[in-house]
């Protein structure tokens, strides 16, 4: 499901079963990530699929990339794999104005 920046954040903030998934490249993630996000680069192809299969399908996944296109693809793949609740961030990280962390600082 595609959600606006405002709806995505509002729903995420209320969701105790949420996982934030960043599907950008490592280089992109080094520019900052949404707080508590885990990275799984969609460009890794089969590696991306393997890592998805390790995730708990009972969770709600809030997925984002730079602009919203790759994350929309990722949600479609996840739905095919049996994930019921995936939420794509329309406009992606480049339009995000919520909390951000730098992965290299942790």
Residue 15 tokens, joined: 């969701």
Question: How many whole angstroms from its chain centre is CA 87?
Answer: 8
Taking the C-alpha atoms of residue 63 and residue 37, their distance in angstroms, rounded to an integer, is 9
Helix (H) or strand (E) holding 45: none
Residue 8 tokens, joined: 């995505």
Query: How wide is the angle at C-alpha 16 spanned by C-alphas 94 and 73, nearest 5°?
Result: 40
Catalytic residues: 65
């Amino acid at each position: 499901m595609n959600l606006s920046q405002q709806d995505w954040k509002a729903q995420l903030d209320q969701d105790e079963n949420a996982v934030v998934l960043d599907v950008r490249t490592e280089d992109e993630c080094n520019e900052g990530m949404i707080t508590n996000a885990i990275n799984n680069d969609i460009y890794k192809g089969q590696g991306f699929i393997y890592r998805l299969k390790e995730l708990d399908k009972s969770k709600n996944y809030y997925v984002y990339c730079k602009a919203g296109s790759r994350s929309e693809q990722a949600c479609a793949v996840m739905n095919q794999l049996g994930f019921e609740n995936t939420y794509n961030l329309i406009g992606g990280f480049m339009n995000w104005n919520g909390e951000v962390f730098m992965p290299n600082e942790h």
